[in-house]
């Protein structure tokens, strides 16, 4: 781990639903869970999380795969991607199933909300974890869900490319929360094939409660809206969304 990258972050661990994972926490104010993308908690992920801290939030970053603080590389990304595909915590290919790690994240969110209180908490997922905030939306205290380039189940075929990686019961719960007023913010590059047709599915599921930020792709590699291929306006839009919903 690079101590410089995660300077000021308090390392801990959390156990629930049969899983124990390390967590990194920093800041004060309303709570936000930031779930990293492949390959892990990179310097760019931490940079974004530090901006949330500087904006007045308590941020908790769980470490699900990879080495916290390690920089992105193609080889590192492939190694972490393999772990996502074979690990029991994630449903990387299965349709209409909620990943088991969601139960752990929900428990983490409940614990954070119980401690901090206020209007509720927020969550942001990226890439393989992009849809995880939808799973957390089952709980009433999740009032600011953000999905950045949601990519699971991995889009091998049209059906997977449109699937939200949720069980039918959880999809209905998301629909009910949206009908009660909870908005979902989504971000993607328009040429990102990993996102597939999920934005169309979200529009069909929750209608105007899905707020989409869709950026024109300039390169085939455009994927990580908030980190590796960072779009500054989108970063500021996410920060404002959290302020609007949590303060």
Q: What are the sequence ranges of the domains in the chain?
A: 10-246
> What Cα–Cα distance (Å) separates residue 24 from each residue in 48, 97, 99, 120, 244?
14, 28, 22, 20, 24
pLDDT of residue 4: 87
Ranges of H-type helices in 34-140:
43-54, 74-86, 101-116, 132-136
Number of H helices, E strands in the chain: 8, 8
Fold of 10-246: Rossmann fold (3.40.50)
Q: Coil, helix or strand for 214?
A: strand
Over the Cα atoms of the chain, what is R_g?
Answer: 16
How far apart are the C-alpha atoms of 199 and 168, rounded to whole Å? 17
Distance from C-alpha of 189 to C-alpha of 5, rounded to nearest angstrom: 27
Q: What residues have CB less than 8 Å from 180, skipping those under 6 apart?
A: none
First to last CA, the chain: 33
The whole-angstrom separation of Cα 24 and Cα 188 is 26
Q: What is the DSSP letter of 69?
A: T
How distant is the alpha carbon of residue 74 from its chain centre? Answer: 21
Q: How many residues does the chain have?
A: 247
**For residue 49, what pLDDT is reported?**
98
pLDDT at site 1? 42
What's the CA gap between 179 and 176, in Å, rounded?
5
Contacts of 29 (CB under 8 A, 6+ apart): 56, 57, 58
User: Taking a C-beta distance cutoff of 8 angstroms, is the pair 10, 26 a contact?
Assistant: yes
pLDDT means per 10 residues, the chain with 247 residues, are 80 97 98 98 98 98 98 97 95 95 98 96 98 97 98 96 97 98 98 97 98 96 97 98 97
pLDDT of 2 reads 47
Backbone angles phi, psi at 34, to 5 degrees: -110, 115
List the structure tokens of 132: 């995880």
**Inter-residue contact 190 to 215 (CB < 8 Å):** yes
Other residues' Cβ atoms within 10 Å of the Cβ of residue 7: 11
| pTM, entire model | 0.97
């Amino acid at each position: 781990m690079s101590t410089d990258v995660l300077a000021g972050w308090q390392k801990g661990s959390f156990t629930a639903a049969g899983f124990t994972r390390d967590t990194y926490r920093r800041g004060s104010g309303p709570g936000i869970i930031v779930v990293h993308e492949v390959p892990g908690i990179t310097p760019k992920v931490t940079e974004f999380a530090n901006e949330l801290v500087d904006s007045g939030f308590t941020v908790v970053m769980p470490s699900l795969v990879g080495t916290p603080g390690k920089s992105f590389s193609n080889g590192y990304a492939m190694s972490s991607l393999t772990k996502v595909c074979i690990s029991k915590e994630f449903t990387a290919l299965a349709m209409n199933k909620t990943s088991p790690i969601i139960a752990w994240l929900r428990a983490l969110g409940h614990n954070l909300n119980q401690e901090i209180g206020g209007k509720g908490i927020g969550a942001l997922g990226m890439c393989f974890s992009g849809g995880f905030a939808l799973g957390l939306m089952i709980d009433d205290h999740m009032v600011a869900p953000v999905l950045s380039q949601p990519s699971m189940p991995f889009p091998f075929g049209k059906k997977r490319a449109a699937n939200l990686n949720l069980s039918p019961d959880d999809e209905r719960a998301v629909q009910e929360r949206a009908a009660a007023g909870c908005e979902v913010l989504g971000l993607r590059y328009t040429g990102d094939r990993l996102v597939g047709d999920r934005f169309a599915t979200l529009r069909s599921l929750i209608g105007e409660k899905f707020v989409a930020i869709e950026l024109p792709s300039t390169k085939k590699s455009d994927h990580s809206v908030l980190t590796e291929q960072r779009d500054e306006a989108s970063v500021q839009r996410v920060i404002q969304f959290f302020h609007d919903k949590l303060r």
